[in-house]
């Protein structure tokens, strides 16, 4: 059995500087880390292996610049077995469509697997689209917002997923794609032994040539999305400050204020 975990390397801070001219992130200025929500996907994969007690290979796949190797090594230090980095100049500037196309092309080449785990979304792009798009391109079922794995068998899985009205219990055949949320389980810390193992491990780089697809289908060229404009949202708050010292009169003013706006 094989489990695939998709991860992304993201800027370490939420205060990413945007280039307002080109509409892209200034990535080079900040330190990069593994997307924090992907840590839950890794934890989910490791827990499935511990639960089934079978020989399961856990493979981590990421797409990004060469330094995204660090994120894969972090995943290996937590307990994953091996990793591949999809990295090629032609992959740059990919939107969620081109990204999931590139990933799914590689996954098809990789061979059989049972589950693909992803995080809920990446903290930089915040789209949460790659998992579902990938499942469509692989023609597999997708279970999103999964908070618990209730049961897992040779060819089926039963999970709980969080929806607005509450919790939904879903049965799915395997293989499938699962995106997990934080409730799944607190990610473990890497161990020293894991770090040393990751240090030794070679991470193969997969390029456009390896995938055997056209340059036009990947990266910016393969992306139907165009960023037209990028701007910081402006928060505006309208309020009044009540200076009335008498509490009863102050309350009257608040009630009047709320009534006038149809809130009360």
Partner 1 sequence: MFKKVEERIIDQLINICGENDVLTNDEDLERYSHDESSRFYAHLPEVVVRPESTQEVSKILKLANENLIPVTPRGAGSGLAGGAIPLYGGIVLSFEKMNQILEIDKVNLTATSEPGVVTNDLCRKVAEEELFYPGYPMSVETSFIGGNVATNAGGSKVIKYGNTGHHILGLEVVLPSGEIINIGGKRRKDSSGYNLLNLFIGSEGTLGVFTKIIVNLIPLPPYTVDLLVPFPTIESAIYTVPKIISESKVLPCAIEFVDRGSYHLSSIYSKERWEYQDRAEAFLIIQFDGNNKNQLEEAYIRAGEVSLKEKALEVFVAENPFASEKLWRIRRNYLEAIKAIDPYVILGDAVVPISLIPEMLRRIREIGERYKVEIYNVAHAGDGNIHSAPIKPKGLSPEEWYPIQEKILDEISIAAVELGGAVSGEHGIGFLKKKILHLSKNKQILIMKELKRAFDPNGIMNPGKIFNS
Binding residues for partner 1 (CB under 8 A): 12, 31, 33-34, 36, 39, 74, 77, 186, 188-196
CB of residue 24 vs partner 1: minimum separation in angstroms? 23
CB of residue 196 vs partner 1: minimum separation in angstroms? 7
Pick 148 or 195: Cβ nearer partner 1: 195
Pick 194 or 219: Cβ nearer partner 1: 194
Pick 41 or 138: Cβ nearer partner 1: 41
Pick 142 or 180: Cβ nearer partner 1: 180
Of 104, 114, 159, residue with least CA distance to 135: 104
Pick 72 or 107: Cβ nearer partner 1: 72
For CA atoms 179, 204, 224, 32, give the dihedral sign: positive
Tell me whether strands 24-25 and 18-19 are parallel, antiparallel or unpaired: antiparallel
CB of residue 79 vs partner 1: minimum separation in angstroms? 12
Pick 78 or 134: Cβ nearer partner 1: 78
Q: Cβ neighbours of residue 60 under 8 Å, at least 6 residues apart?
A: 4, 5, 6, 7, 42, 72, 75, 76, 80, 82, 83, 84
CB of residue 2 vs partner 1: minimum separation in angstroms? 26
Roughly what angle, to the nearest 10 degrees, separates helices 192-200 and 69-78? 140
Q: Cβ neighbours of residue 237 under 8 Å, at least 6 residues apart?
A: none
Of 39, 27, 225, residue with least CA distance to 118: 39
CB of residue 86 vs partner 1: minimum separation in angstroms? 22
CB of residue 221 vs partner 1: minimum separation in angstroms? 33
In what helix (H) or strand (E) does residue 146 lie, and over which residues does it extend? strand 142-152
Long-range CB pairs of 168-173 (<8 Å, 24+ gap) are: 170/143, 172/141, 172/143, 173/141
């Amino acid at each position: 059995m094989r489990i695939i975990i998709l991860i992304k390397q993201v800027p370490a801070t939420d205060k990413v500087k945007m280039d307002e001219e080109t509409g892209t992130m200034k990535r080079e200025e900040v330190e990069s880390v593994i997307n924090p929500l992907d840590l839950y996907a890794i934890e989910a994969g490791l827990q499935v292996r511990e639960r089934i007690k079978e020989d399961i290979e856990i493979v981590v796949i990421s797409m990004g610049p060469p330094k995204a190797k660090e994120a894969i090594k972090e995943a290996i230090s937590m307990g994953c077995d091996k990793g591949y980095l999809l990295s090629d100049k032609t992959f740059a500037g990919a939107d969620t469509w081109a990204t999931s196309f590139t990933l799914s092309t590689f996954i098809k080449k990789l061979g059989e697997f049972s589950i693909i785990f992803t995080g809920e979304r990446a903290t930089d792009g915040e789209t949460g689209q790659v998992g579902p798009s990938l499942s469509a391109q692989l023609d597999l079922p997708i279970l999103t917002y999964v908070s618990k794995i209730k049961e897992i068998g040779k060819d089926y899985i039963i999970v709980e997923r969080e929806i607005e009205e509450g919790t939904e219990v879903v049965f799915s055949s395997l293989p499938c794609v699962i995106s997990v949320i934080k409730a799944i389980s607190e990610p473990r810390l890497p161990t020293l032994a894991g770090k040393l193992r990751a240090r030794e491990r070679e991470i193969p780089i997969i390029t456009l040539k390896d995938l055997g697809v056209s340059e036009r289908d990947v990266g910016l060229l393969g992306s139907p999305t165009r960023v037209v404009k990028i701007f910081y949202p402006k928060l505006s708050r309208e309020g009044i400050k009540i200076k009335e010292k008498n509490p009863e009169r102050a309350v009257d003013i608040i009630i009047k204020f709320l009534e006038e706006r149809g809130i009360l």
